[in-house]
């Protein structure tokens, strides 16, 4: 899905006459507009058709929330209005969201974008706890709803601009963050509790901003709209270029906390006796909250992208257990782990946690070198009847032996970052010399050959 940032004007008018008179002011452009409940219930589908006829893109903001079958039938009606975006409440459950997608999809496979409301921008922590009896922090609730929407197959969420960046961390850069609650710095915030300016919303990661009264109630609505577009889109491309790819962000994180440590002049000795210029201890990510947050959300993003049908996460013993647990919590999935051997007491389990035959499993590992230990885990799970979709890991050396073993076992691995990227970042950050990079790559290509030390 191609993401194009834009400003959406909320047409908060009570009738068709006011609405069309407002749009008549825009002679030189056709703004993206939002039709909400008040206007739709007043003027009906005809106002949608007329605005569409005039050439505007439309976000139909009706926030559907009902039993799955009712929402499915309602969406099958809305799809024929030829709008660009429709929405519903994520609180309606995964089943409702999946049913909505079915109803919205035309016979040729096309459909409008479907996004979910997480929490209304008029809801703050106090209202969440007192009125809705939800005691979790509001940002945690929003992220949970966002992940649920992503897993259900939706294209994005409506959220506060305060949460837009986090939504992308959790659900991926291609998952839309559509954000109301945007006001000019010199404007009235009205009944919104969680607001930002257009420029701030751009910086934090909003894809679309929805702006109503600051434009519709302005003395010069066209000038207010142009100001908003300038503030939000003015240097948007530059901002996107500054965003680090995930593999480089994780590489920088691991170097910063010395989870990956290079020492080519005084190599470390592995248990096998091999002299290594690098030492990796990803357990350190667990004691660095910001890095841990990047890692676990990154693992969730990999799983959503490559294994959307996953039913259970299984950690490797012991390094993968904590990462599997945290990621499973983020994704609201069951998890377990596989011991390195059968227990010599109790029920003599090797797989800890409930696993039913036929369940679709993703294995969570911290580090892959020659892939021997993680493939033992895969084999144990397969013998138990699980369908192993694949592996996710924090870091891979990319050693040929490991790649060959994974291919022979017919299992794929997706890592947050890899040896080559970390070596390059280490040179950029001054941890090693630039000329050391080629030596490190020679080590990776053939660890048993110590000629890399020359």
Q: Which residues have C-beta within 8 Å of that of residue 37, sequence separation ≥ 6?
A: 61, 62, 63
Annotation: CATH topology of 246-453: Rossmann fold (3.40.50)
Q: Is the pLDDT of residue 2 over 60?
A: no
433: how many CB neighbours lie within 10 A of its CB? Answer: 12
Confidence of residue 191 (pLDDT cuts 50, 70, 90): very low
Active-site annotation holder among 4, 30, 63, 202: 63
pTM for this predicted structure: 0.59
Segment 134-146 mean pLDDT: 88
Residue 310 CB neighbour total at 10 angstroms: 21
| Element (DSSP H or E) covering residue 34 | strand 32-35
Radius of gyration of the chain (CA): 26
pLDDT confidence of residue 409:
96
Spatial separation of the C-alpha atoms in residues 181 and 191, rounded to whole Å: 9
In the chain, domain spans? 6-242, 246-453
Orientation of helix 419-429 relative to helix 246-256, angle to 10°: 60
Residue 63 designated active-site: yes
Most confident of 32-41, 193-202, 436-445: 32-41
pLDDT at 236 over 80: no
Give the pLDDT score at 293: 87
Q: What is the pLDDT of residue 348?
A: 72
Name the pairing type of β-strands 275-276 and 268-269: antiparallel
State the helix-helix crossing angle for 436-445 and 419-429, rounded to 10 degrees: 160
**19 φ, ψ to 5°?**
-65, -50
CA–centroid distance for 450 within its chain = 42
Instruction: Give, to the nearest 10 degrees, the angle between helix 16-23 and helix 45-53.
Output: 10
173, 302 Cβ separation under 8 angstroms: no
CATH 3.20.20.70 fits 6-242, yes or no: yes
pLDDT tens, position by position, 344-388: 666 678 999 999 999 999 999 999 999 999 999 999 999 999 999
Q: Is 452 helix (H, G, I), strand (E, B) or coil?
A: helix
Closest CA to 278 of 434, 430, 422: 422
Lowest mean pLDDT among 30-34, 245-249, 332-336, 404-408: 245-249
DSSP track, 425-450: HHHHHTSS-TTHHHHHHHHHH-TT-G
Bridge-based pairing of strands 156-158 and 6-10 is: unpaired
Residue 209 · residue 238 · CB < 8 Å: no
Domains 6-242 and 246-453 share a fold: no
- pLDDT tens, residue by residue, 276-299: 999 999 999 999 988 998 899 889
């Amino acid at each position: 899905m191609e993401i194009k940032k834009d400003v959406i004007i909320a047409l908060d008018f009570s009738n068709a006459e006011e609405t069309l008179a407002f749009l008549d002011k825009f002679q030189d452009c056709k703004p993206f507009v939002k039709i909400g409940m008040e206007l739709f219930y007043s003027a009906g589908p005809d106002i949608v058709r007329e605005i569409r006829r005039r050439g505007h893109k439309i976000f139909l903001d009706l926030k559907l929330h009902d039993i799955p079958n009712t929402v499915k039938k309602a969406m099958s009606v809305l799809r024929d209005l030829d709008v660009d975006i429709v929405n519903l409440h994520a609180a309606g459950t995964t089943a409702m969201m999946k049913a909505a997608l079915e109803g919205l999809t035309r016979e040729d496979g096309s459909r409008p974008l479907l996004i979910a409301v997480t929490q209304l921008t008029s809801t703050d922590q106090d209202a969440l706890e007192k009125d809705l009896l939800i005691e979790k922090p509001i940002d945690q609730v929003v992220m949970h709803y966002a992940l649920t929407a992503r897993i259900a197959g939706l294209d994005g969420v409506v959220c506060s601009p305060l949460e837009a960046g986090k939504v992308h961390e959790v659900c991926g850069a291609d998952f839309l963050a559509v954000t109301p609650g945007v006001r000019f710095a010199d404007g009235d915030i009205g009944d919104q509790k969680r607001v930002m300016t257009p420029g701030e919303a751009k910086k934090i990661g909003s894809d679309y901003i929805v702006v109503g009264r600051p434009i519709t109630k302005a003395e010069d609505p066209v000038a207010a709209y142009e100001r908003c577009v300038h503030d939000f889109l003015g240097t948007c491309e530059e901002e996107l270029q500054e965003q680090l790819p995930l593999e480089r962000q994780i590489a920088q994180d691991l170097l910063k906390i010395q989870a990956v440590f290079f020492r080519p002049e005084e190599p470390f000795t592995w248990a096998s006796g091999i002299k290594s210029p690098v030492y990796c201890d990803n357990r350190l990510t667990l004691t660095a909250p910001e890095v841990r947050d990047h890692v676990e959300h990154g693992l969730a993003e990999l799983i959503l992208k490559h294994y959307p049908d996953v039913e259970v996460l299984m950690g490797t013993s012991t390094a993968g257990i904590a990462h599997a647990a945290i990621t499973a919590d983020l994704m609201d999935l069951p998890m377990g782990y596989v011991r390195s051997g059968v227990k010599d007491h109790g029920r003599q389990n090797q797989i800890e946690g409930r696993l039913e035959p036929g369940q679709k499993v993703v294995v969570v590992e911290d580090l892959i070198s020659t892939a021997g230990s993680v493939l033992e885990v895969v084999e144990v799970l397969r013998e138990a009847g699980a369908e192993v979709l694949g592996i996710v890991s924090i870091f891979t050396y990319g050693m040929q032996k490991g790649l060959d073993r994974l291919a022979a076992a017919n299992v794929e691995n997706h890592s947050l970052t890899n040896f080559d990227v970390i070596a390059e970042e280490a040179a950029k950050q001054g941890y090693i010399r630039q000329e050391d990079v080629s030596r490190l790559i020679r080590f990776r290509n053939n660890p048993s050959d110590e000629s890399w030390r020359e």
